[in-house]
Amino acid sequence: MSDGWPVELRGITESVVTTRGPDGTYNVAALGLSAGDPVTATTWGQTRTRQNFEREGEGYVQFTRDPVDFVEAALTVREIDEPVLPTADAWARVTTEEIDTGTEDGTEWVKWRLDPIESAIERETVPTTNRGYAAVIEATVAASRLGVPAYDDDRLAARLAYFSDVIERCGGEREQVAWQRLEGAVDLPEGDRRFESF
């Protein structure tokens, strides 16, 4: 255990965050971390993460390579009993402090300062590069923007079609399952030409 970040952060690092809700369970959500001093993250709208940050003042930031966990965190409502996912390679318990707020295209946002107070590395791995995994992450971001006025749904649909093709050709079993979860979570109509692979 240490009290710093368990991994090196650069640019925006995608993570999964768990925050304790009023009933004591932990909500699982995706959270982009902006590297810097301090590390920051932005929540959009009245999400469970925002509400739990406001009420509890902390959360558990986790780094997982499991594409299914990432899709579920970003696109579904998932509650768990323990704060750390079994698939987390590393995690940090952080305190949260609101440092800025605003509105963009009609959506309220809050920028948070995240300070790690406890962290751990659960497993070390040899990194590999898999285009299917990367496509799942990018597809999840695109899918989360469907129906948001600031984004064009047809352009997002074209991106999703491309990512679907990459996942089919390059992804392993977990990437395939992740794509199926994504399709179900955003209710992509079967046979909709906008989402057919190129």
Q: Against a cut of 0.75, is the pTM above it?
A: yes
| Burial degree of 152 (CB within 10 A; 0-12, 13-18, 19+) | exposed
Q: What is the CA radius of gyration of the chain?
A: 17
39-67 residue pLDDT tens:
999 999 999 999 999 999 999 999 999 99
The alpha carbon of 132 is separated from its chain's Cα centroid by a whole number of angstroms, namely 17
Instruction: Check pLDDT > 90 for residue 198.
Output: no
User: What does the pLDDT look like over 154-183, one tens digit per residue?
Assistant: 999 999 999 999 999 999 999 999 999 999
Query: How far is Cα 116 from Cα 4, in angstroms, rounded to an integer?
Result: 6
26-34 vs 12-20, strand pairing mode: antiparallel
The pLDDT value given to residue 29: 97
